[in-house]
Amino acid sequence: MSEILADKSVLIVVKKLDELGVLRTLFSSLGSQDISVASSANMALNMLRMRTYDFCVLESELGDYDKNGFQVIEEAAREGLKPASSAFLLITAESPRSLPKDSIEFAADTFIAKPIDTAKLKLRMEKLVKLKRAVFPVESPVDSGEFEKALQLIPRLIAKYASLEVYL
């Protein structure tokens, strides 16, 4: 059993109960004991207003009469509910290549296509956790408004992890 999410909080936003069960089981198996769920966009936004989550996993389509996952991410970013140190993962029925490319602050950190392959999602989460750990020294000052400090740290981080240059 992997413990990569042992100290991490997760918000899962999906409409279907069977998918919710699969995702809750997966994130539990990755070590998270702090899992919250929302079945609508408005419920998710209200939960994000109450607290910060390390990971927010959203389904792109939340119903015909509800906002979609992209809109939740955009609204969260506009309201300051999407800190740099959090990660947003969007579950979509489409290929990630066909998804719209919005500005970075309104985009998901990663995508996964349906049907959900738990092995692929687990691997994606492991990579995302490693990425977030690596860039934490830069994202933490960004979240606290210390942009100059973050900018000064970027060259050192790139020297240590050259492949992060594209991300930073």
**pLDDT per residue as tens digits for the range 3-54:** 888 889 999 999 888 888 888 988 998 889 999 999 889 999 999 999 999 9
**pLDDT for res 103:** 44
Buried-state track 133-154, b at ≥16 Cβ within 10 A, e below 16? ebbeebbbbbeeeeeeebeebe
Query: What confidence tens digit (pLDDT) does each residue in 147-157 have?
Result: 999 999 999 99
Sole residue written with tokens 């939960």: 47
CA angle 45–34–62, rounded 5-degree value: 35
